[in-house]
Amino acid sequence: MSSKNLGKWLLIVLPLAAAFLLLWPTINYSLLSSERAELEADTSRTGREALARWDADNKEAFESARAGRLKLGLDLRGGAYLTLEVDVLKLIESSADASAVDDDFRAIIEETRKATDNSDLDVLTVFLEKFRARGKKLINYFPASELTEQAVEDKLRRDASGSVDQAMEVLSQRINKYGVSEVSIQKQGARRLVIELPDEKDTLQMRELLQQTARLEFKRVMTDRNLVKAFYAIDQAYRNYKSGVVAPAAVDTTVADTAKKDVAAAADTTKKADTAKVATDTSKGPKDPYKGLSDDEKARRIKAEYPFSYMIFGAVAANEQSAPQSFDMVGLKINGITPEQLPEAGIFSFRIAAEKLQEFLKILSIPQVRAAMPSDVDILVSANGQASKPGAQPEAYDVYGVARDADLMGDVIEDAYPSFDNSNQPIVLMNMNAEGADEWGRVTGANIGKRIAVVLDDRVWSAPTVQNKIPNGSSQITGNFKPEDAMRLAVVLKAGALKAPVKIIEERVVGPSLGEDSIRRGLTSTGISFALIILFMMAYYAIGGAIADVALLMNILLTVAGLAAFGGTMTLPGIAGLILSTAMAVDANILIFERMREELYAGKSLKSAVEQGFSRAWSAILDSNLTNIAGAIPLMVWGSGPIKGFAITLLVGAIITLFTAVVVTRAMFQLIIASGATTLNIGQKRTA
């Protein structure tokens, strides 16, 4: 085989190999799901044990395949579909000074509501038009730091435009906390949000979750060595809970008898030593109880004995300037290090891996576990996980101990917005009302040098250190912010001040049986359309049609693989887009074959006819597919839901059509010519 022909074979084989690799997670997920479903069907003790072993052996592969598979849309999987509307008019109404509201103001509100209901008009613009048509002034109704019409209008616009982002941020956090996977939240128009919840059927609970008022709190951070005691207490409480013991566990600070002498001898030096080195150097501590065990058995034993703290990794630094030394909770126990031997005044931080988050939160939600925790401490996790690079999935979440009772509620915040300091670093500026300013001055004055956590719906969004007393309620929050981080924090802070509720205006539930029926009908219709195209091409263009059919099947495979590679979702409209892109691929081949036949009728050789057919049809093929691409891009950018699914499939299909219908088909013809063929049947002869 010549190197020239090898290149043509690679043009055909390599894309197929790439498609298989991209679709392997989907194939593997289907195979693993079938295996697991068979085991789940057996509810006997033997079946449950087999399922537990299967989960232990295949968990990583199953999760990896699940994350990389081609996702199915709500119309194919089943689930809940909700459309919510942010009540911007309610925000405007509640922002007014209650003592200044009169009949005219109420009438304007009612007129605005009638004008904007069931429309996508900008609510604030309509309100201002009707407000000023009556000769009213904003400063007579709305409080503002600067008593000018423009200052009041700017604040209302800032609040109104941010209310949808704020609602989206809060709802996203709630749904993720609720444990719904692959949720989709998208803006629709000026003030609506569309939420798709695959596999979710409990719409009543989800409705309550989405419509409850956001709870913003400021709480003192209490992350110190006593939190280590709490983690061990939770271990014991959870073991008791699993075994049916009712009594709450006491805090476990003892060590094994065999370790007492080692601990006593090391007690004086441990306070001065590097905690991380002591915690991880098993040669200096008690005998490792897991020594000699296999990795799997060791992991199983550790999880059984420390079901909560095994997930946690910590670090401690002597002060803010010193480098933190890391340790793991199980390592402390193995080495006989008690919480009292950790630095009393150290700066502690704790973290869990992202894949352990749901397990971590599930244990904390158990009443028996909460009863074993200190009465004045809550254990919370950060709202945003930490990733190795921008846009990547979170790899870890920070764990905080915070005061159970809030020092201040978020409803005292009047405004919060991102800005930049003198060195052009992103910051967040926050203003409070008079009542909040007095209390904030007391709280900050009593906690100088300590951290105050910003907590929204039991997730920590920021935990800045108090630098000095803030007497007037105007605060500046600094940190290693990116501009988008500062914007998100400002949105969260306003969750306690903005009073723009969300209301569900549309709710649909797609059952799994309906989804299965959609898949079956979609596959059937797709199969029939492909079969008709294949039969037509072979009947009309003979051998040329068979070559086109091979390229067509390759086009379908690469399009689906492309969707999987870019994290796309296959929907019913997406299947329609796939069929349409396939028709466009056939159209390209028809243009080429007709050109080739014209050349053959003119007496040209097969090689010349192939070259001329492809070169002369190229401009028409390019124009038709560019038109498809140009039409699909706006639908993909500005469309949502089914429209976007259709556009993505059409766009990917059009791009791949340019490759399969021109490059791959041409390579096949050239390989046939290279094998010595001088004639090729590409359809019926011309009639006189």
Mean pLDDT of 381-386: 85
- Which phi and psi angles does 405 have, rounded to 5°? -95, 135
The pair of three-digit structure tokens given for residue 488, joined into one six-digit string: 């998100």
Check: CB of residue 23 under 8 Å from CB of residue 70.
yes
Residue 276 confidence (pLDDT) above 50: no
pLDDT at 216: 84
Name the burial class of residue 518, with classes exposed (0-12), middle (13-18) and buried (19+) by CB atoms within 10 angstroms of its CB.
buried
Q: Considering only CA atoms, which of 362, 366, 325, 323 is closest in space to residue 342? A: 325
Interior CA angle at 149 toward 144 and 151, to 5°?
A: 50
Q: How far is residue 348's CA from residue 444's CA, in Å, rounded to a whole number?
A: 21
How many angstroms separate the Cα of 296 from the Cα of each of 54, 292, 303? 14, 12, 11
Check: CB of residue 348 under 8 Å from CB of residue 227.
yes
Domain extent listing, the chain: 1-69, 79-217+392-510, 223-375, 512-688
- Which phi and psi angles does 52 have, rounded to 5°? -65, -40
Residue 252 confidence (pLDDT) above 50: no
pLDDT in tens, 278-330: 344 434 455 677 787 888 888 888 888 999 999 999 998 877 777 888 888 88
The pair of three-digit structure tokens given for residue 542, joined into one six-digit string: 């003979």
For 606-616, b/e burial (b = at least 16 CB within 10 A) is: beebbbbbbeb
How many angstroms separate the Cα of 126 from the Cα of each of 88, 96, 117, 396? 12, 17, 12, 45
The whole-model pTM stands at 0.56
CB atoms within 10 A of CB 681: 12
pLDDT at 352: 93
Check: CB of residue 645 under 8 Å from CB of residue 574.
yes
Q: How far is residue 79's CA from residue 175's CA, in Å, rounded to a whole number?
A: 14
Per-residue DSSP letter, 494: G
Mean pLDDT of 149-166: 84
Check: CB of residue 486 under 8 Å from CB of residue 418.
yes
| Host H or E run for residue 317 | strand 312-317
pLDDT at 270: 32
Q: To the nearest whole percent, how much of the chain has pLDDT over 90?
A: 9
Q: How far is residue 394's CA from residue 385's CA, in Å, rounded to a whole number?
A: 5
Q: Considering only CA atoms, which of 137, 139, 141, 85 is closest in space to residue 116? A: 85
- Which phi and psi angles does 219 have, rounded to 5°? -130, 145
**Ramachandran bin of 198, using left for φ above 0, alpha for ψ from -120 to 50, beta for the remaining angles:** beta
CB atoms within 10 A of CB 328: 18
- Across the chain, how many H-helices and E-strands are there? 22, 18
Paired sense of beta strands 377-382 and 459-462, if any: parallel
CB atoms within 10 A of CB 569: 22
Residue 62 confidence (pLDDT) above 90: no
CB atoms within 10 A of CB 80: 22
pLDDT at 294: 83
CB atoms within 10 A of CB 134: 11
- Which phi and psi angles does 71 have, rounded to 5°? -85, 150
Q: Quickly state the pLDDT bin for 403 (edges 50, 70, 90).
A: very high
What radius of gyration do the chain's Cα atoms show? 33
Check: CB of residue 420 under 8 Å from CB of residue 427.
yes
Domain 512-688 has CATH 2.40.160.10: no
- Which phi and psi angles does 122 have, rounded to 5°? -75, 115
pLDDT at 508: 78
Check: CB of residue 426 under 8 Å from CB of residue 418.
yes
pLDDT in tens, 76-130: 777 778 888 888 888 888 788 878 888 889 899 999 989 988 787 888 999 999 9
pLDDT at 685: 61
Q: How far is residue 90's CA from residue 96's CA, in Å, rounded to a whole number?
A: 10
Residue 38 confidence (pLDDT) above 50: yes
**Ramachandran bin of 448, using left for φ above 0, alpha for ψ from -120 to 50, beta for the remaining angles:** beta
- Which phi and psi angles does 326 have, rounded to 5°? -90, 155
pLDDT at 287: 66
* Mean pLDDT score of the chain: 80
Contacts of 187 by beta carbon, 8 Å cutoff, 6+ apart = 164, 168, 193, 194, 640
pLDDT in tens, 634-677: 888 777 666 777 888 888 888 888 888 888 888 888 888 888 88
Strands, E, within 87-191: which ranges? 184-188
Q: Considering only CA atoms, which of 344, 381, 376, 373 is closest in space to residue 463? A: 381
Q: How far is residue 550's CA from residue 12's CA, in Å, rounded to a whole number?
A: 10
CB atoms within 10 A of CB 655: 17
